[in-house]
Amino acid sequence: METESIKTLKNQLKRMIQKFEVEKYCKNEAYYFILSHGLLDQFSEFSINYNVDDPHRDCVEYLLSKVLEQEVCKEFEREVN
Protein backbone atom coordinates (compact mmCIF):
# COMPACT_ATOMS: atom_id res chain seq x y z
CA MET A 1 0.00 0.00 0.00
CA GLU A 2 1.45 3.33 -1.07
CA THR A 3 1.38 6.21 1.30
CA GLU A 4 0.12 9.59 0.18
CA SER A 5 3.65 11.01 0.24
CA ILE A 6 4.93 8.23 -2.05
CA LYS A 7 2.09 8.94 -4.50
CA THR A 8 2.95 12.63 -4.38
CA LEU A 9 6.62 11.91 -5.03
CA LYS A 10 5.75 9.64 -7.95
CA ASN A 11 3.55 12.35 -9.47
CA GLN A 12 6.29 14.95 -9.01
CA LEU A 13 8.82 12.63 -10.64
CA LYS A 14 6.45 11.99 -13.55
CA ARG A 15 5.98 15.75 -14.11
CA MET A 16 9.73 16.36 -13.88
CA ILE A 17 10.40 13.63 -16.45
CA GLN A 18 7.78 15.13 -18.78
CA LYS A 19 9.32 18.61 -18.44
CA PHE A 20 12.78 17.15 -19.04
CA GLU A 21 11.57 15.43 -22.22
CA VAL A 22 10.06 18.69 -23.50
CA GLU A 23 13.29 20.57 -22.79
CA LYS A 24 15.37 17.83 -24.43
CA TYR A 25 13.13 17.94 -27.53
CA CYS A 26 13.42 21.73 -27.77
CA LYS A 27 17.19 21.65 -27.41
CA ASN A 28 17.51 18.92 -30.03
CA GLU A 29 15.30 20.95 -32.34
CA ALA A 30 17.58 23.97 -31.81
CA TYR A 31 20.67 21.84 -32.44
CA TYR A 32 19.12 20.52 -35.67
CA PHE A 33 18.35 24.09 -36.75
CA ILE A 34 22.00 25.04 -36.15
CA LEU A 35 23.27 22.04 -38.11
CA SER A 36 20.76 22.19 -40.96
CA HIS A 37 21.39 25.89 -41.55
CA GLY A 38 25.17 25.50 -41.66
CA LEU A 39 25.66 27.42 -38.42
CA LEU A 40 27.86 24.94 -36.57
CA ASP A 41 31.04 27.01 -36.95
CA GLN A 42 29.30 30.16 -35.72
CA PHE A 43 27.76 28.25 -32.81
CA SER A 44 31.13 26.75 -31.91
CA GLU A 45 32.76 30.18 -31.87
CA PHE A 46 29.86 31.59 -29.86
CA SER A 47 30.21 28.76 -27.34
CA ILE A 48 33.91 29.44 -26.93
CA ASN A 49 33.39 33.17 -26.39
CA TYR A 50 30.17 33.06 -24.36
CA ASN A 51 31.06 32.68 -20.69
CA VAL A 52 28.31 33.39 -18.18
CA ASP A 53 26.91 31.74 -15.10
CA ASP A 54 23.24 31.76 -16.12
CA PRO A 55 22.39 31.34 -19.82
CA HIS A 56 18.68 31.04 -18.97
CA ARG A 57 18.72 34.50 -17.40
CA ASP A 58 20.42 35.87 -20.52
CA CYS A 59 17.73 34.31 -22.73
CA VAL A 60 14.94 35.81 -20.64
CA GLU A 61 16.60 39.24 -20.59
CA TYR A 62 17.16 39.11 -24.35
CA LEU A 63 13.56 38.13 -25.06
CA LEU A 64 12.22 40.79 -22.71
CA SER A 65 14.40 43.43 -24.37
CA LYS A 66 13.03 42.42 -27.77
CA VAL A 67 9.45 42.63 -26.49
CA LEU A 68 10.16 46.05 -25.00
CA GLU A 69 11.83 47.15 -28.24
CA GLN A 70 8.76 46.07 -30.23
CA GLU A 71 6.44 47.89 -27.82
CA VAL A 72 8.51 51.08 -28.10
CA CYS A 73 8.41 50.83 -31.91
CA LYS A 74 4.63 50.32 -31.86
CA GLU A 75 4.19 53.31 -29.56
CA PHE A 76 6.39 55.44 -31.83
CA GLU A 77 4.39 54.38 -34.89
CA ARG A 78 1.14 55.33 -33.14
CA GLU A 79 2.54 58.76 -32.25
CA VAL A 80 3.80 59.37 -35.79
CA ASN A 81 0.54 58.31 -37.42
Q: Locate the domains of the chain by residue range.
A: 1-49, 51-80
Q: Mention every residue, 6+ apart, whose C-beta is less than 8 A from residue 10.
A: 2
Average pLDDT value for residue range 5-21: 95
Give the span between the Cα atoms of 81 and 67, in whole angstroms: 21
The pTM assigned to this predicted structure is 0.63
| pLDDT tens sequence across 20-70 | 999 999 999 999 999 999 999 999 999 999 988 999 999 999 999 998 888
Is the pLDDT reported for residue 79 higher than 90?
no
Separation CA 32–CA 39 (nearest Å): 10
Q: Kindly tell me if the per-residue pLDDT of 1 is higher than 90.
A: no
Query: What DSSP element (H or E) covers 56?
Result: helix 55-80
Report the C-alpha gap between 77 and 80 in whole angstroms: 5
